[in-house]
Amino acid sequence: MEGNDDENTEDESQSLLPPLEIGQKVDLDYVEARERFTSPPARYTEASLVKKLEELGIGRPSTYAPTISTVQKRNYVVKEDRQGREREYGVITLKDNHVLSFKKTEITGAEKAKLFPTDIGAVVNDFLVANFKDILDFNFTATVEQEFDEIANGKMEWHEMLHDFYKPFHKTVVNTEKHSERASGERELGLDPKTGKKVIVRLGRFGPLVQIGGGLDSEDEPKFASLRPGQRLETITYEEAMDLFKLPRNLGQFEEKDLTISIGRFGPYAKLGDEFFSLGKDNDPYTISYDDTIALIALRRATPDLARNPRNLGQYDGDDVIVSRGRFGPYIKNNGMYISIPRSEDPFTIEMNKVIELIKKKAETESKKLIRAFPENKDVQILNGRWGAYISIGKKNFKIPKDKDAAALTLEECLSIAGVKDKKEKGAAKKPTSKKVAAKTPAKKSSAKKKAAAKKKSAK
């Protein structure tokens, strides 16, 4: 039998005693003691976070989805899988009057589809908690929701509620602007052995970075290096930070030109003279070898530039399937539809069957999005958006009133809601104006003739 101090034991049947009788002697088989570690609180999934918000009385069902999507769009939180790491634990056994001690390993920390705070999210959260304690209090949102209900039921005046909230809030904002410092999550790691300058990690304009030197008293330009994926301001070590300054790496000469490895705005790359070659995501700029870099350069040269020479994979649904690269990355074009190629796929090697799969998926999404179209005016469409149905006219969108059935709207009703006249009506409206202008001209002539006739009579 095994005794376990873990409250979350999955198999309770293992802890049940076998049938025993009073006075029965039990022989000791063996005793085993295992080292255990305290587990941190579980990370939230989207579903468990919604459940927690409901328990705290924060928000409403209609606000949960946009709240969770907003914090992800602003890069405060990322949803991702994380691999576990191997960890040793000790085991001690007592059997046949012999004590044995040895080590075993286990995988810990593996997560799937969990929400993780980013460095930006942590810095912003710390700043808000330090300066806006009342707003960040869990009870604040719940209280506001209750006041909204009272306003809706006529038990409270809305302007009084806003006044009670905004007056102290405005004072806090003004005080924060005057006295608080810019939040950067700065942390000092040590000194650079070559220059003796401070090595710090902080949040910069384009994300978390390591900085050597700089400051008010320094005249020299500081050095910067961006953190690698998986590294965080709170946990990065001095050694890991200094390794980031190994770039650019000079691998030697090729074709009588210097071959260097570095990281730019769009990721790691190899530079050969005036030529630049992307390393892609599968190659580590800190460890890629000279031979692997040469092979990559040969592959990039043999592969055409997608922006200038798009790949034509053949025909699908009566139209060419084109793979190209645009401003926002690689994409597929077919029948006037543009489909982004996922980062997991290489646009240079993606095959037709995968492309067709992406096209079908995009077509299915678009079909669900379209509620109604009007053949007589192709600019007008009724679409299903994230926040409900809306009217799209050209590049402008218009909200549909709640008392209207989106699927039953006519073209005239859509144009009326948008405050736009149909093209035919515009053309018809212009014709009478031209007639009126033309009608005014003879009127002036007739009046001139009458005046002339009056002069003749007076002359007689």
Q: Using the 3D structure, point to which of 179, 204, 235 is the last residue of a domain.
A: 179
Q: Which two tokens stand for residue 450?
A: 């009458």
58, 68 contact by CB (below 8 A):
no
What is the distance, to the nearest Å, from the Cα of residue 425 to the centroid of all Cα atoms in its chain? 44
Whether residue 163 lies inside any domain: the answer is yes
Whether residue 219 lies inside any domain: the answer is yes
CATH number, position 101: 1.10.460.10
Same domain, 170 and 45: yes
User: Please, which residues have CB within 8 angstroms of residue 325's CB and are 6 or more apart in sequence?
Assistant: 305, 306, 307, 310, 331, 347
Same domain, 46 and 112: yes
* Confidence at residue 449, expressed as pLDDT on a 0 to 100 scale: 46
Enclosing domain of residue 158: 28-179
Question: What phi and psi, each to the nearest 5 degrees, are found at residue 288?
Answer: -60, 135
Q: Using the 3D structure, point to which of 205, 221, 245 is the last residue of a domain.
A: 245
Strand arrangement, sheet containing 329-334: 311-316, 319-326, 329-334, 337-340
Same domain, 255 and 396: no
Per-residue pLDDT for the chain (460 aa), expressed as one digit of tens each? 455 554 444 444 556 778 888 988 888 888 999 999 988 888 999 999 999 988 888 877 888 889 999 999 988 999 988 888 899 999 999 988 899 999 999 999 889 999 999 988 999 998 999 889 888 888 888 788 888 888 988 899 998 899 988 998 999 999 998 888 878 888 888 888 888 888 998 888 878 889 888 765 556 788 888 888 778 888 889 988 888 888 888 999 998 899 999 887 667 889 998 888 888 777 888 889 999 999 988 887 876 666 667 888 889 988 999 998 887 788 999 988 899 988 778 887 888 999 999 999 888 888 878 888 898 888 899 988 877 889 999 888 898 988 888 888 999 999 998 886 554 444 444 444 444 444 444 444 444 444 444 444 444 4
Q: Using the 3D structure, point to which of 202, 222, 245 is the last residue of a domain.
A: 245
Same domain, 37 and 175: yes
* Confidence at residue 437, expressed as pLDDT on a 0 to 100 scale: 46
Same domain, 224 and 290: no
Same domain, 32 and 156: yes
Whether residue 16 lies inside any domain: the answer is no
Q: Which two tokens stand for residue 142?
A: 């719940």
Whether residue 431 lies inside any domain: the answer is no
* Confidence at residue 459, expressed as pLDDT on a 0 to 100 scale: 44
Whether residue 99 lies inside any domain: the answer is yes
Whether residue 94 lies inside any domain: the answer is yes
Domain count, the chain: 5
Whether residue 409 lies inside any domain: the answer is yes
Same domain, 328 and 382: no
Same domain, 100 and 224: no
d(CA 192, CA 172): 40
Same domain, 114 and 206: no
Same domain, 278 and 396: no
Whether residue 141 lies inside any domain: the answer is yes
Please write the tens of the pLDDT for every residue from 402-423. Answer: 888 888 899 999 999 888 655 4
Same domain, 34 and 173: yes
d(CA 189, CA 184): 15
Task: Find the Cα–Cα–Cα–Cα dihedral 168, 173, 177, 178, rounded to 10°.
Answer: 0
Please write the tens of the pLDDT for every residue from 138-186. Answer: 888 878 888 888 898 889 999 889 998 899 899 999 999 888 887 888 8
Same domain, 91 and 191: no
* Confidence at residue 355, expressed as pLDDT on a 0 to 100 scale: 92
